[in-house]
Amino acid sequence: MMALGEIVGAAIGLITMAGSVVLIYVSHERKMAINKAEINYLRIDLTKVEKRVQDLEDKLVNKIDSIMEKLKEIEIKIAGNY
């Protein structure tokens, strides 16, 4: 009878250990999924920032071009007066 009790006890121990391993694995996979989701969110956010920076650069270039054109017009007017 003692052997049967030891076998049952060992089996319960192994089942408990296997359950712990499964819980650790599931927890790890969950953390990895959360990390992956955060990375994807940050990647999307970074893409939005890059697009916004590009838009601002384009606007700045357009403003500079506009100012340069106005300066040329002023230069032509000044040259025409002399």
What is the phi/psi pair of residue 38, to 5°? -65, -40
Strands (DSSP E) along the chain, which ranges? none
Chain centroid, CA 4 distance in Å: 56
**What is the tens place of the pLDDT at every residue in 33-60?**
999 999 988 888 889 999 999 999 999 9
Cα-Cα-Cα-Cα dihedral sign, residues 31, 36, 41, 42: positive
For all residues of the chain together, what is the average pLDDT? 87
Closest CA to 77 of 51, 14, 20, 69: 69
Closest CA to 34 of 24, 45, 42: 42
pLDDT reported for residue 16: 87
| Prediction pTM value | 0.51
